[in-house]
Amino acid sequence: MSREELMLEVEDLHVYYGAIHALKGISLKVPKGAIITLIGANGAGKTTTLTTIAGLVKARSGRIKFMGEDITNKPPHTVTQMGIAMVPEGRRIFPNLTVYENLMMGAYTRKDREGIQEDLEWVFQLFPRLKERLTQLGGTLSGGEQQMLAISRALMSRPKLLMMDEPSLGLAPLLVMEVFDVIKKINGEGTTILLVEQNAMGALKTAHYGYVLETGKIVLEGPTDELLQNEEVKKAYLGVA
């Protein structure tokens, strides 16, 4: 893999919460155009990895490079402006803003009215249900609708890299499949994706390459078809003996 093809590169990242050593030297690479997944049990450090890349949590040491530029410990608004968007854990819809305003918050840094309009049409195509609910307050949407809105809101910044933290969590099985389909669709339109999931099966079937995280360390990585065949992965994450 040559350097130019890399969208994101994380090198030996260490993160602490007070005395808790949450990330113990994480390294990972996200090539341009790929879907990369990060799986692991509760408390493994998946969310911390994403929030540190986004600039919400400070790294103690290590390096994060985005499109060849060092973005380690840059403030979150700078990181977003450079082209990284996130679907945060738990959706984090603005409950007191309408669906339309939530989407416009996603486009906060943009000034190209026409482009914003185009992207609105695009997310309505992905999630037609949102269009019917534009004037409804975000807090009154159902969990599934909130997840669609969280994904759409992130897309409204027209990101180069989309980070998603457990987008399938708490959704009905049918909707889970829909979300993974949408992820593929978004990727097909050219957006690179870093996907964090508890649903290892869904994630590994959707992504091209995967990392397995355990208590702050990457213990396994490889192309997803290999990980799906891996005995340890099968036992620990796919629920098959």
Partner 1 sequence: MSGTIFLQNLFNGLTLGGLYALIAIGYTMVYGILRLINFAHGDVLMIGAYLAFYGVTLMSMPWYISVVVAILGSAGLGFLIDRVAYKPLRESPRISALITAIGMSFFLESFAVVVFGGIPKSFLSITPRFLKKVVVVFGARIQVLTFFALATTVALLALLLWIVYKTKIGMAMRAIATDIPTTALMGANIDNIIGFTFALGSALAGAGGIIWAMRYPQINPYMGFMPGLKAFIAAVFGGIGSIQGAMLGGFILGMMEIMIVGFFPQLAGYRDVFAFVILILILMFKPTGIMGKKLTVKV
Ligand X SMILES: Nc1ncnc2c1ncn2[C@@H]1O[C@H](COP(=O)(O)OP(=O)(O)OP(=O)(O)O)[C@@H](O)[C@H]1O
Only segment of 53-61, 122-130, 180-188, 206-214 that touches partner 1 (CB under 8 A)? 53-61
Spatial distance between the Cα atoms of 23 and 168, rounded to a whole number of angstroms: 24
Q: How far is the CB of 224 from ligand X (least distance, A)?
A: 19
With CB under 5 to 8 Å by kind, the binding choice for 97 among ligand X, Mg ion, partner 1, none is partner 1
Interface with partner 1 (CB under 8 A), residue from 40, 45, 106, 144 = 106
Q: Is 47 in the site for Mg ion (CB under 5 A)?
A: yes
Q: What amino acid is encoded at 76 in this protein?
A: P
Find which of Mg ion, ligand X, partner 1, none residue 184 binds, CB within 5 to 8 Å per kind. Answer: none
| Least CB distance to ligand X at residue 188 (A) | 27
Cα–Cα distance for residue pair 164/49, rounded to 1 Å = 11
Footprint of ligand X on this chain (CB under 6 A)? 17, 20, 22, 40, 42-48, 89, 198
Contact between 88 and partner 1 per CB under 8 A: yes
Which x/- pattern, by CB under 8 A, does the window 153-182 give for partner 1?
x---x-------------------------
**Burial state string for 109-139 with b = 16 or more CB within 10 A and e = fewer than 16:** eeeeeeebeebbeebbebbeebeebeeebbe
Candidate residues 95, 115, 128, 170; the one interacting with partner 1 per rule CB under 8 A:
95
122 Cβ contact partners less than 8 Å away, ≥ 6 residues apart = 155
Distance from C-alpha of 192 to C-alpha of 241, rounded to nearest angstrom: 33
Residue 110 phi/psi, 5° resolution? Answer: -95, 150
Of 27, 73, 81, 215, which one interacts with partner 1 (CB under 8 A)? 81
Taking the C-alpha atoms of residue 50 and residue 45, their distance in angstroms, rounded to an integer, is 9
Contact of 191 with 223, CB cutoff 8 Å: no
Which parts of this chain interact with partner 1 (CB under 8 A)?
Answer: 54-56, 75-77, 80-81, 85-86, 88, 92, 94-97, 101, 104-106, 108-109, 153, 157
